[in-house]
Structure 1
Amino acid sequence: MPVKVFFIGDIIGKPGRLAVSRELDRLVDRYLLDLVIANGENSAGGFGITAEVALELHRAGVHLLTSGNHVWDKKESLDFVKDVPYLLRPANYPEGTPGVGSTVVTTAGGTKVAVLNLEGRVFMNNLDCPFRTADREINRLREITPVVIVDFHAEATSEKAALGWYLDGRASAVIGTHTHVQTADERILPHGTAYLTDAGMTGSFDSVIGMRKEEAIEKFLTQLPKRFEVAKKDVRLNGVYLEIDDVSGKALAIERINIGSV
């Protein structure tokens, strides 16, 4: 039996959270979803995540939250990340960093699905190698289940594509996050790994990647610090639907989703 997964692109602030709560039940019914994953690192005020926001999204039907470089933007995250079992931080942070970078969840149908969160290094933080971390983590996770989904939170398209090819046949899916712009390159690679460079974002499209465009434009014009605020108009939900064979771990289908004006 195939396992059916929906991955929601970066949730931006309250508008993004409301979009999830309004649309998720319909998506579950339409696709008969077994598992819902979302990147939630910017779901609290557009920067970071709080325990309350994580719980809100979990109660709305998101089974597992992934993150990235902004997961630490709220000071409290250093305390609660380790205590929220449905929230991941990138696995290639140094040893001793709070929280975990991978987990295995069991769907209502009994299928075990492993999820691995990684962060890129090109134009980003100088972390441990995501490729070698993926080797270590996937080898361990595949002893539990052949179904392994990777959220690669990275800036550079080249780095995301390279990891997709590197993990082809070992991961069920490699889905990129971080840029907030959904790409149109979804495909299944030759050895069975579903790939998408970026899942996009769930938030306001009357914006600059989810934030009010006026402040963003002023910052580019003046090069002075600006306080960004979450934009609220033209809210859309971006994500990707996956079907994965629960025996082989190979992807059977991948479909980009863009639900406008929710």
Structure 2
Amino acid sequence: MKRLTKALGRTSSKLLLALSANDKNIFTISDAQKVVKTSSAATRILLSDLVNKKWLIRLVPGKYLIVPLSAGEKAEYSENWYVIAKHLIEPNPYYISHYSALDIHKMITQPIMTVYISTPKRRKKAKILGANYRFIYAKLPKVWGIEEVWAKPTEKVKVSDLERTVIDCLDNPKLCGGISELAKGLWTKRKEIGYERLAKYVERFSSKAVAKRLGFLLELYEIGEDVLAKLKRSISPSFVLLDPSLPAGGKYLSSWKLRVNLDPKELREIIKT
């Protein structure tokens, strides 16, 4: 306490310690004002000074993140990245999506340094404490298939549910590390996925390409066979790439109207690792 007071001054140190003690690493001007008991104007000046001294990060106007009080290499992980994402975009509609949703649903094993947030609010990307925040524009009618999960013991975040995560990744494989990355996750969660719900989501999402890619993967892995006929009724005559994040090439598969630019043998092998 004495060390912090010497570095910051009594009022500033009191503020940071009180907020941290109450798990308020992310807080508002009103939260700060309740601790320091000064006017709104005086509190804003105090917070601005702490931002300049790099004790705080201003996430959005009126909302701040405490930079870790302890030094060291692990300091940037003091606050959950998904919680930060939530506070960056609320009160606008949002959900954690794509590669980040795969991570939350434990469908991947590789660490990721980018947090993907789908939202109808257009926002520039940001970088905060070692993580990149990328906002994916989604029209409001596309914001569905969402659930709330505990990101930390005291706070929930919104994330695409298991089936919607699969749909989003099939729609834009580039945002999830490619079809091969999704395929591993699909296989990992094959016993938890609701295939009827997945087929209904494909219909609601209204993407022929998604239906084709999903049908191919389900058939390849011999899972969700009960919905294959329904998916085939959703496809169109034109061919699309299996993985649009990869160069065009490969054989044309007429049954799913796909150009398979990723070796099926490779896709079968990756689920064994």
> TM-score, structure 2 length as denominator?
0.27
Q: Which has the larger radius of gyration?
A: 2
Higher helix share: 2
Q: TM-score, normalised by structure 1?
A: 0.27
Structure that is richer in strand per residue: 1
